[in-house]
Amino acid sequence: MKKIENTFAVTGFVGKDASIRDFENASVARFSLAISKGEKDKDGKTQYTSAFISIEAWRKNENKDSFETLKKGEMITCEGYFKPEEWTEEDGTVRNRVILVANKFYPTPEKEDNKKGK
């Protein structure tokens, strides 16, 4: 049987400063990432579709200074996995969601122009 990969890599802008919660041995940062995708319409003009996705990142308390890069407007790349969650509301309604958990996140390197003749 083939192994199913549960990974993602996404680049976008941090929507607002990360919300950080500290626990006894670890801390979690929750933040949104603004992403967009450009597609050409029938007239050849590029139309962008944008969305905010929710991401969480966990770090041991001694390594949580990496959360300092999670400031509004910073362009970052996140790599991680999808974590499904399910719970039951007080009225018996079953809810679920998928959380994107970032194992790694880092400032996105600037793209270099690959023009010939330089």
Structural domain includes residue 114: no
pLDDT tens digits, one per residue of 32-59: 999 998 888 888 889 888 999 999 999 9
Average pLDDT on 93-108 reads: 94
Structural domain includes residue 51: yes
Structural domain includes residue 53: yes
- Mean pLDDT value across the chain: 89
pLDDT at 113 over 90: no
pLDDT at 108 over 50: yes
Helix (H/G/I), strand (E/B), else coil: 67: helix
| Number of domains, the chain | 1
Specify the CATH number for the domain of residue 70.
2.40.50.140
Strands annotated E in 1-118: 8-14, 19-22, 26-40, 46-60, 75-88, 94-107
Give the per-residue pLDDT at 5: 84
Structural domain includes residue 118: no
Structural domain includes residue 59: yes
Instruction: Return d(Cα 60, Cα 51) in angstroms, integer.
Output: 30
Residue 2, both tokens: 């083939």
Give the per-residue pLDDT at 118: 46
Structural domain includes residue 116: no
Which structural domain, as residue segments, surrounds residue 69? 8-107
